[in-house]
Chains A and B, each alone.
Chain A
Amino acid sequence: MSLSSASSNSERVHFERSLRRLEQDVLRMGALVENSFRLSHQALFSQNLEAAKSLPLLDKQIDRYYRQIELDCATLMTLEAPVAQDLRLLSAFMQLVRDLERIGDYAEDLAEIAIKLLPYPPHACLPQIEVMSHHAQAMLATSLVALADLDANAGRSIKELDDKVDTAYDTLYHTLAHQQDIQGIVEPILLLALVIRHLERMADHATNIGQRVTYIVTGHR
């Protein structure tokens, strides 16, 4: 991150070092969440059972990072009493990791749904859901890039991507809800409705991350 380090005050240097370490942890957690999102996508759309089974452990790791980062942020805020951008940075981190952790949880849920969907033949609207998942993953990637660069404008572009995901959600919901002449079990349709809901929530959380980055830089949402 482009934090200026003009002053040679050793306390300041120590504080910046702690900030950098914290930022590293947040980015590590982001990379893990990206991984788990990708694995859940493979589980759902490529019927990759190994990917689905590896998610619970990955999610535990993500949760561990979440708790640790929250604690470190609180500690740093108490000990160093930062102001202005540094304070916004720390409080934004605390909120950001909540969003990341939620995305990780949703990815785990998607993997569970993938396992439940295995016995059934693939549904006709799976390709559209796959595109929706790709969009959501792209949003997560964009928001993490925005975090790494502290780019305020990215928040706006993510909002536009979010609109695409919302439209896809509406269309797919309409398709699934108005299916007629269903023969056999209705479970696959139910599960797919849950899938698109989870994907839409994941996209919303990614948008939140982008908005928090804007907040860090400008102080406004």
Chain B
Amino acid sequence: MTLLAFLLGLALGIGFWLWQRQRLQRQLKQMLGVLQTDASSTAMSVVSRLRQEIAQANEHRSQLEERLQTWRRLLEVAPLGYLQVDEENRLLWCNEQARHLLQIDRWEPRQLRLLLELVRSYELDQLIEQTRHQQKPTIQEWVFHPPCLDGEAMGEVRSLTLRASSWPLPHGDVGVFLENRQPLIELAQSRNQWFSDLAHELRTPLTSIRLVAEALQGRLENPARRWVEQLLQETNRLINLIQNWLELSNLEKNPSKSLTYQSLELRSLIQSAWQTLEPLAQQKQLCLAYVGPDTLWIRADEARLTQVFLNLFDNSIKHSHRQGTIRVEVTATEAPVLDSEETVDSLLFSNASDQPDGDASPSLIQIDMIDAGSGFADSDLPHVFKRLYRGDPSRQKSQGTSEPFTLVGSSGSGLGLSIIQQIIQAHGGTVHARNHPETGGAWLQIKLPDHKNLS
């Protein structure tokens, strides 16, 4: 009897043990399933499979860590600056170049501090906020002024033009790459300076050549006289080109200093510009159609604005077909704010909650000039405003038209549209070139702000 009880008990115990073992095996298999890479053979026992998997996972992790370290070291020594901020704009990490560019000298790697504490750049901060808000990569360029705590040395401090490309990261972090654009800017400036200096130097000899040619012109008989006249023509063309180039550079450098604002009546200005070119228009029997208010007063530089219209009409006349019409449409709108390019000023004002309050918003004057000519070639459209760009030579009219008027850019110097753009931009406006859908000709749209209270 006792033997039976004993055997029963033993069987129960063994059964219990077997059940526990089954449970353990099931749990181990579950754990094995959690480890994603189950490359071990099923021939081995579960425990050794688990051991193998854990070893593999450890090795994989150490490989990943090594790769991470390599990337981090690469980023640390990269020629681009890089910094990363968390969702509260605390600086998580910045590399050597970023520290050099932004002069972050009070940062310790283990300390979490606000980015604004280390580098007081409003533009950088706004860029990060905008990137986080829109969750889109953004590029911004601005002038960074390194901090200077010494009054005497402040005159020597050079500001940098920086371009930042920011990327939104998970958990509200933002990464910013920083590029030093100052060398490029200085290069462009010195190049412009060279050209202007060269142009200055060319002026004097050309003027003497013109004087001599004019003197010769009176003393010769044909055929030599005709040659000298041609000489004179080409010399004048060169002198005009140089004059325009210098003026263009001047306008670009100091837009506000070169303009003298006056109150002008727009319609009469346009009419007088047209009348100057009337003889040329008559040759092709072109006429002007004006649509707009009878009197519209604006404040602008009279001579420069006349030049704009002379250039516009000249281009339209050159490219129009016979008996065509050149339409000028003037409209005055109340626009709240102009398109702003990416400059320092616009970045300072780009805070989303900003709105100019209380000031009378300037009215916007839109001038559309539409001709019925051949229009622009599509490939030329992005480049028409560049200096000396001439477009497709087959569209150029011959230079044979007589030139009693020394019009700017009339000999197709390629500067006409550049001058228009420069003058309009100096007035704070914009100009766009398109082909008009109805007439197929060129359509130039000028938008000018009307500075009613400019000194």
Contacts and interface: CB of A to CB of B under 8 A. Distances in A.
Contacts of A50: 256, 345
A142 B149 contact: yes
Interface stretch (B187-195, B278-286, B346-354, B441-449): B346-354
B345 A54 contact: yes
B121 A31 contact: yes
A49 B256 contact: yes
A108 interface: no
B78 interface: no
A217 to B, nearest CB: 15
B391 to A, nearest CB: 33
B110 interface: no
A31 B116 contact: yes
Contacts of A76: none
A137 B154 contact: yes
Interface stretch (A19-27, A77-85, A95-103, A180-188): A19-27
Contacts of B116: 24, 27-28, 31, 148
Contacts of B106: 149
A161 B151 contact: yes
A23 B114 contact: yes
B117 A28 contact: no
Given A35-B122, A135-B151, A137-B154, A60 B357 contact: yes
B120 A34 contact: yes
A148 B151 contact: no
Contacts of B121: 31
B437 interface: no
B115 to A, nearest CB: 9
Contact of A31 (B113, B122, B357): B122
B152 A27 contact: no
B151 A38 contact: no
Interface in A129-148: 130-131, 134-139, 141-142, 144-145, 148
A142 B149 CA distance: 6
B79 interface: no
A49 B351 contact: no
A115 interface: yes
A92 interface: no
B111 to A, nearest CB: 8
B114 to A, nearest CB: 6
A136 B149 CA distance: 10
A110 B367 CA distance: 38
B114 A61 contact: no
B114 A20 contact: yes
Nearest to A147: B117
Given A24-B89, A24-B114, A137 B348 contact: no
B257 A149 contact: no
A17 B87 CA distance: 11
A34 B345 CA distance: 14
Nearest to A154: B149
B154 A134 contact: yes
A131 B147 contact: no
Contacts of A141: 147-149
Nearest to B126: A28
A156 interface: no
A49 B145 CA distance: 19
A1 interface: yes
A164 interface: yes
A57 interface: yes
Given A24-B89, A54-B345, A134-B155, A30 B149 contact: no
In the A-B complex, the 5 residue pairs with the smallest Cβ-Cβ separation, listed nearest first, are A135-B151, A148-B117, A27-B116, A138-B151, A31-B122
Interface of A: 1, 17, 20-21, 23-24, 27-28, 30-32, 34-35, 38, 49-50, 54, 57-58, 60-61, 64, 115, 130-131, 134-139, 141-142, 144-145, 148-149, 161, 164
27 contacts: A1-B117, A20-B90, A23-B117, A24-B116, A24-B125, A27-B116, A28-B116, A31-B116, A31-B122, A32-B348, A35-B122, A38-B145, A49-B256, A60-B357, A61-B348, A61-B354, A134-B151, A134-B154, A134-B155, A135-B151, A137-B151, A138-B148, A138-B151, A148-B116, A148-B118, A148-B120, A161-B151
Given A61-B349, A138-B148, A138-B154, 13 more contacts: A27-B120, A31-B120, A34-B120, A35-B122, A49-B257, A57-B349, A61-B348, A131-B151, A135-B151, A139-B151, A141-B147, A148-B116, A149-B117
